[in-house]
Amino acid sequence: MHDKPVADALIRYYEMARSSGTSIFYEDSYRAPNGERRYSKSRLTPMYDDTGKCSHVVSVVNDVTQEKLAKHAREEALKRLEESNAKYRSLFESNGDAVLTLTLQGKLNGGNQRARLLVKWPLSELAGADFSVLIEAEDVGRAQLMFEEAIDGIYNDHRLHLTSKEGDTIACVMKLIPIIVQHEVTGFYLMAKDMTELDLLVSKYLESERNFRVMAENVYDVIVLMNRQKQYLYVSPSSTEIFGIPPEEVESQQPFFNVHPEDLPHVDEQFQLAVQEARPYSLQLRIDHQHRGWIWTEMNGTPVYDQEGAFSHMVMIVRDISVQKKHEQQLEYYAFHDVLTGLPNRRYFQEYSSAKLAERAQEESSIALAVLDLDDFKKINDKYGHEAGDKVLKLFAQRLSSLERAEFMPARMGGDEFVVLLESAKTPYEAKRAVEQIHRALAGDWEIGEEWVAVDFSIGFAVASASGETVSSIFKQADKAMYKQKGLEQSDIEILQP
């Protein structure tokens, strides 16, 4: 016996199957004998006698517990990703180094909080100006050379001086980093690391080793002094935190003993070039922490010379950037995934499907994709609110995601439009079967809040020979087929039986 609300719902479902003359689906949950919560999905199919009268309804129940648990796990993962995305958006502003953004013509068009504080200039006043307006006059020529190198794909560190609005000169290590969108460089980040304190630190060391040690012991980053033979002359106490090793143990080790083997050649090369060319260097490398394993660090090295111009030692500042690296990886994820649904986005789909198209071209085979669009989605937003609309999009994406293991690659193109690459379909018949499978996965009412909402959608597909086709042209064919379907009645849509 069921409770009355459950019994009423079941009666309603059976009546819907009988009256509609088609199969319907509904989901339910129950407690197993061991107390575990289980989830099921039922399909109700009306059966008819020789007179065409519904004689009984057949119910087929499938256990979808694992799918439900996976769905909850994805929702939790998406929530964590959204939280991480919010944290990463603040990374640009809270970066300890000044970051300015430039166009391909070298014009200023933005910057972070550190940049505004460093140059003491509202960046809105500098918008559209050449970045050289912030460079000390004597360094403008070398700054232009740095920009020309970046245009040619060469990104080196340069010692230059910034000039603030108040006329102050700030010694910096600068580097241009390309801004890449869809494999094209659209501008540059101008990274400027204020070297004022480090320069002061080095000068203090030359004046008095004792004073240098006092300051170094109060700096969180690890400060390492190394001679030409790469012997450790000094290691600051912060190595215990950053490396997991006390400074006295570091000093007795072989040079760069804790650097990852893959990074070691680059470290040696930069060290030698800095000595030979009398220039600083900056690089990222992995360090073996005694307790945390491999961690990402940033090393900034500056060669120091005596009064006769002979190399004396290298001052290296090593900083833990593990958190920054983690955020960079998350940013790469966000570049290829839709924030709301977690599905691959338009950019990812374009690159992935283009690769598949090229692969099929070599096989002299075809490629197929389907375009889906929610019908009257605006009405859902208007009636239930945008929060409910977002939930519909998430649920729609989750149902599409459940098809991934069956060689479907779904993506959100924007708004309420989705696309699915039918990876296993190479013929119109196979594509039609795949579309029918998508229909089954998305069929049924949707639970929004405390209500069941009927969500309809249209779908069109296209199968095209890889020869002479592009992903865009195949997409347009599928999109056209979808809009053609929007003009048909639900009963007119041909669906293959499983």
Which residues are catalytically annotated? 416
Contact 289, 306 (CB under 8 A): no
Sheet holding 232-235, edge to edge: 232-235, 222-226, 311-320, 293-305, 281-289
Strand segments (E) across 23-69: 24-31, 37-48, 54-63
Residues 6+ apart with CB under 8 A from 140: 132
Q: In a 10 Å sphere around its CB, with 0-12 CB exposed, 13-18 middle and 19+ buried, how is residue 66 labelled? A: exposed
Task: Tell me which H or E stretch contains 198.
Answer: helix 196-207
Task: List, in order, residues 6 or more apart from 422 with CB less than 8 Å away.
Answer: 368, 369, 370, 407, 408, 430, 431, 434, 435, 461
Determine the 3-state secondary structure of 245 from DSSP: coil
Consecutive H or E run containing 174: strand 169-181
| DSSP label at residue 254 | P
Task: Please report the sign of the dihedral spanned by the C-alpha atoms of residue 474, residue 478, residue 480, residue 481.
Answer: positive
Pairing of strands 451-453, 457-465: unpaired
Q: Are strands 98-102 and 54-63 parallel, antiparallel or unpaired?
A: unpaired
* Bridge partners, 315 (sequence order): 225, 302
Return all residues near 335 (Cβ < 8 A) that are at least 6 apart: 347
The whole-angstrom separation of Cα 38 and Cα 64 is 8
CA dihedral 97, 98, 101, 106 (to 10 degrees): -120
Distance of alpha carbon 440 from alpha carbon 498, whole angstroms: 9
What is the Cα–Cα distance from 349 to 411, expressed in whole angstroms?
A: 6
Nearest residue to 27 via CA among 39, 17, 18, 13: 39
- Could you tell me which residues are beta bridge partners of residue 163? 169
